Amino acid sequence: MTISLIILIGLAVVIGVTAIRRPLISKPIFSIFKRILPPMSSTEREAMESGSIWWEGELFKGSPDWDKLHAIAKPQLSDEEQAFIDNQLETLLGMLDDYQIVHENKDLPKEVWDYLRSEGFFAMIIPKSYGGLEFSALASSTIVARISSRSLSAAVTVMVPNSLGPGELLMHYGTEEQKNYWLPRLADGTDVPCFALTAPEAGSDAGSIPDTGVVCKGQFEGKEVLGLRLNWDKRYITLAPVSTVLGLAFKMYDPDGLLGEQADLGITCALIPTSHEGVEIGDRHYPVAMAFMNGTTRGKDVFIPLQWIIGGADYAGRGWRMLVECLSAGRGISLPALATSTAHLASRTTGAYAAIRKQFGLSIGKFEGVQESLGRIGGLTYTLESMRTMTAGAIDLGESPSVVTAIAKYHMTEMARELLNDAMDVHAGKGVQIGPMNYLAHQYFGTPVAITVEGANILTRNLMIFGQGATRCHPYVFEEMEAAANPDAEAGLKAFDTLLLKHVGFASKNALSALWQGLTVGRFNSSPVSGATQHYYKQLTRMSTGLAICADFSMLILGGDLKRKEMISARLGDVLSQLYIASCVLKRYEDDGRQVSDLPFVQYSLDRCLNKIGVAFDGFFQNFSNRFAARLLKTLIFPFGIHYQAPQDDITQQVSNSLLKPGIARDRVSHLCYLGKNEQDSVGVVEQAFIAMNDVVDIERKIIKAQKDKLIARKTVFDVTLKNALEHEVITEHEAEQLKRAEALRVVAINVDSFKPGVLEGNSQAEQKKSVA
């Protein structure tokens, strides 16, 4: 005991006395840290430094303060925004015929373009002082989502000017002169913007764009001025074929020192009228047969004045920082809105279709295989709506959470793909036969677009979420990296020494906490609520602690190699992502007043999150290169094994049943889905049939009972069954008429489109419209 006491005292002195600790411990570790530190380019540093840390920071530190989550203001629409949605948006939705847009016009009709311009759909983010609507991120997201449930092509057309583009860049960085000229023109639709970033060899790696702008003198408006000689070749640029003003990202060089001593100034953004001499636009791409405008733009030796740089000459070389800051906000609004809209549409229509489509004498919704798909559709839809509102709400609070928006972009688009596959499976032939009455096919075509743009999903998951999250969200790592990069070695060591002491304490605390929570299975963790969701808060706290300790070990052991171990990084990113997703679900449940009808959706969502966390951790432990560390970590966090199960069958069936009958739960989970009121509206038709068939359930039961009692025959055609039921007074004349009407609507709803001979072979559009059967 005496020896142990002496050792403990010695350790305390070494650690506690700065003059001893710094040369013996901190300095050697500092040298090692600098060697293993992954190299960071200037573009990577700017991406790391951009944006803000929000709730994800709580999740990463190992002990989330759930009261902070509950204290976040509930996102809500203003009266003005709701009025726009109830009026202008409803008018627009009634004007859209997506089959005509995609298959006949391959463009929005002129009257729709005019309406979008005149009513400010392209100016939702522009301040009122410049003629815009100045809507919240939640309102923009809701409007785009609602449009998408009607027409994905129209939604993308509206989405782009209100996301990453000239409007947002001008608002944040433009000179007063630029704002005063361009923003009113963008607000009233005089100008249509596009933003050109992606080049043939620079997609997800946008920092490697080959397009250049060289500082030189040239002629502009009859005078010799200082400007840029631009050369670019861009592709995948949405709205480019119809744009009148081009936002352009390029690398700027000043070889002759006309602006100063720096020759390589870096990525810069400029705003150029497409009518300017040498600007080429017009060629279209055809993205998965969607009709939104997307194409190329090129320019060779195009001269522009320096004042066309967004923000003026002072912002030369600051374009990458501008882009990543704006992208993190736009990424949290646009693609999550499209994904959520797909889910609302799938939930509304698949539940209705499964209720009215019959096989083997039963609605297919009664078969457990279909119920499994419906449960997944409903559960993921609730999850997506929770993420949409919370992420948009963060932006409205003034946050720019780049890690959160990367999580939203990747996981929401992947969830939309998963549930849409389920919807297609349930609809079967109805889903694959294209025509005016198919409400799923265009969503199915368009889903890969959302997965591809704004950083391909593979890159987002494997590099961005944890790669950026581990550095930005960790309480100490980013500051330690800055200390290591300090050119003043003594100052860097001093800062590192202080941080190291805190970091060791942080890691030690998490290691002990992880073991305690593992041994007790999180049973003694605190929860801000009681009742059905109490268990989830406790388990999520436990998993947050597990993530914190695994992240520290990974960075300590792998160092710079962690950047290249993408599959390991991705699994830790999955844990962080599922913690955020679960937080969104819990927040929505509390914000909505713990609706009883929502509880099965909440339980499905949270069970799925915990199961995916378990799968991610299991993959991490199995594949971590240091086997001793992997076994140690698994023993600390999961001493009794990983036991998080996928959603149970009874919960899945409760969710499924909510979609198979009219009611509050179904309306709440699919409220963004537009229901047309005319007979040509595909979603409206299946909804009318669904309601009508629900209204005659009791009448059908009478007939089924009579068949069981052998009063009337089984397995006869509908008209014969109806006649027999009337003759034996099983039903009344009024009930028979109700059944006839409901059956007529059902038949129309389950039928698929067919075309007269010659129509699909190339007849004129007018003939096609007349010939659709």
pLDDT for res 761: 80
The strand ranges marked E within 415-550 are none
pLDDT for res 284: 95
Of 718, 715, 756, nearest to 739 by C-alpha is: 718
If one counts every other C-beta atom within 10 angstroms of the C-beta of residue 497, the result is 19
- Candidate from 1-15, 165-179, 415-429 with smallest mean pLDDT: 1-15
Residue 377 has pLDDT above 70, yes or no: yes
Parallel, antiparallel, or unpaired for β 212-220 and 193-196?
unpaired
CB 617 within 8 A of CB 637: yes
pLDDT for res 40: 57
pLDDT for res 246: 96
pLDDT for res 6: 63
How far is Cα 55 from Cα 546, in angstroms, rounded to an integer?
Answer: 17
Q: Does domain 193-328 have CATH number 2.40.110.10?
A: yes
Direct distance between the N- and C-terminal alpha carbons of the chain, in angstroms, rounded to an integer: 93
Q: What is the pLDDT of residues 388-397, one digit of tens each?
A: 999 999 999 9
- Structure token pair of residue 631: 């076994």
pLDDT for res 552: 86
29-45 mean pLDDT: 64
Q: How far is CA 631 from each of CA 550, 568, 623, 641, rounded to the nearest angstrom?
A: 12, 15, 11, 12
CATH topology of domain 79-163: Butyryl-Coa Dehydrogenase, subunit A; domain 1 (1.10.540)
CB 630 within 8 A of CB 624: yes
Is the model more confident about 474 or about 276?
A: 276
Of 551, 547, 570, nearest to 463 by C-alpha is: 570
Q: Of 529-538, 675-684, 706-715, which one has max mean pLDDT? A: 529-538
How far is Cα 196 from Cα 344, in angstroms, rounded to an integer?
Answer: 32
pLDDT for res 8: 53
How far is Cα 698 from Cα 773, in angstroms, rounded to an integer?
Answer: 34
Tell me the domain boundaries of the chain.
1-36, 41-68+471-652, 71-76+331-459+655-659, 79-163, 193-328, 696-750
pLDDT for res 37: 63
- Cα three-residue angle 194-197-200, rounded to 5 degrees: 120
Is the model more confident about 399 or about 486?
A: 399
Is the model more confident about 648 or about 457?
A: 648
- Candidate from 254-263, 530-539, 716-725 with smallest mean pLDDT: 716-725
pLDDT for res 213: 96
Residue 727 has pLDDT above 80, yes or no: yes
Per DSSP, helices labelled H in 239-367 are 319-331, 334-356
Residue 586 has pLDDT above 60, yes or no: yes
pLDDT for res 507: 85
- Candidate from 195-199, 401-405, 765-769 with smallest mean pLDDT: 765-769
How far is Cα 69 from Cα 584, in angstroms, rounded to an integer?
Answer: 9
* DSSP character string of 435-459: STT-SSHHHHHHHHHHHHSSS-HHH
- Candidate from 119-128, 195-204, 455-464, 489-498 with smallest mean pLDDT: 489-498
pLDDT for res 773: 46
454 is catalytic: yes
pLDDT for res 42: 61
Residue 613 has pLDDT above 50, yes or no: yes
Confidence of residue 553 (pLDDT cuts 50, 70, 90): confident
- Residue 473 contacts by C-beta under 8 Å, 6 or more apart in sequence? 53, 56, 57, 59, 60, 61, 403, 576
pLDDT for res 16: 57
605-616 mean pLDDT: 98
Q: Of 40-54, 315-329, 700-714, which one has max mean pLDDT? A: 700-714
The catalytic residue among 46, 56, 168, 454 is 454
- Candidate from 477-491, 513-527, 620-634, 722-736 with smallest mean pLDDT: 477-491
How far is Cα 159 from Cα 165, in angstroms, rounded to an integer?
Answer: 10
How far is Cα 258 from Cα 261, in angstroms, rounded to an integer?
Answer: 8
CB 137 within 8 A of CB 145: no
* DSSP character string of 647-687: PPHHHHHHHHHHHSS-SHHHHHHTTTS----STT-HHHHHH
Q: What is the pLDDT of residues 124-139, one digit of tens each?
A: 999 999 999 999 999 9
- Candidate from 105-119, 120-134, 490-504, 640-654 with smallest mean pLDDT: 490-504
Of all helices (H) and strands (E), which one includes residue 117? helix 110-118
How far is Cα 464 from Cα 573, in angstroms, rounded to an integer?
Answer: 8
pLDDT for res 604: 98
Q: Which residues pair with 366 in a beta bridge?
A: none
598-612 mean pLDDT: 98
Residue 455 has pLDDT above 80, yes or no: no
692-707 mean pLDDT: 92
Residue 4 has pLDDT above 70, yes or no: no
Is the model more confident about 43 or about 749?
A: 749
Q: Which CATH architecture has domain 71-76+331-459+655-659?
A: Up-down Bundle (1.20)
If one counts every other C-beta atom within 10 angstroms of the C-beta of residue 232, the result is 23
Q: What is the pLDDT of residues 337-358, one digit of tens each?
A: 999 999 999 999 999 999 999 9
pLDDT for res 769: 54
How far is Cα 443 from Cα 163, in angstroms, rounded to an integer?
Answer: 20
- Candidate from 28-32, 353-357, 431-435 with smallest mean pLDDT: 28-32
291: helix, strand or coil: coil
Residue 255 has pLDDT above 80, yes or no: yes
How far is Cα 233 from Cα 212, in angstroms, rounded to an integer?
Answer: 10
- Backbone φ, ψ for residue 328 (5° rounding): -65, -35
Are both 71-76+331-459+655-659 and 79-163 of the same fold? no
773: helix, strand or coil: coil
Q: What is the pLDDT of residues 265-282, one digit of tens each?
A: 999 999 999 999 999 998
pLDDT for res 10: 53
- Backbone φ, ψ for residue 50 (5° rounding): -80, 160
pLDDT for res 47: 62
- Cα three-residue angle 734-738-740, rounded to 5 degrees: 115
Q: Is 164 exposed, middle or buried (0-12, 13-18, 19+ CB in 10 A)?
A: buried
Of 122, 580, 154, nearest to 341 by C-alpha is: 154
Of all helices (H) and strands (E), which one includes residue 575? helix 566-591
Q: How far is CA 569 from each of CA 465, 540, 559, 575, rounded to the nearest angstrom?
A: 9, 20, 12, 10
pLDDT for res 554: 86
Residue 286 has pLDDT above 70, yes or no: yes
- Backbone φ, ψ for residue 291 (5° rounding): -100, 0
Of 225, 224, 235, 100, nearest to 154 by C-alpha is: 100
Residue 481 has pLDDT above 70, yes or no: yes
Of all helices (H) and strands (E), which one includes residue 251? strand 245-253
- Cα three-residue angle 374-425-382, rounded to 5 degrees: 30
CB 140 within 8 A of CB 275: no
pLDDT for res 12: 52
How far is Cα 478 from Cα 78, in angstroms, rounded to an integer?
Answer: 38
Q: What is the pLDDT of residues 565-583, one digit of tens each?
A: 889 999 999 999 999 999 9
311-324 mean pLDDT: 88
Parallel, antiparallel, or unpaired for β 294-305 and 245-253?
unpaired
pLDDT for res 758: 84
pLDDT for res 387: 98
The per-residue pLDDT of the chain, averaged, comes to: 90
How far is Cα 157 from Cα 151, in angstroms, rounded to an integer?
Answer: 10
Residue 639 has pLDDT above 70, yes or no: yes
Confidence of residue 713 (pLDDT cuts 50, 70, 90): confident
220-238 mean pLDDT: 94
Residue 50 has pLDDT above 70, yes or no: no
If one counts every other C-beta atom within 10 angstroms of the C-beta of residue 596, the result is 10
- Candidate from 68-72, 181-185, 437-441, 720-724 with smallest mean pLDDT: 720-724
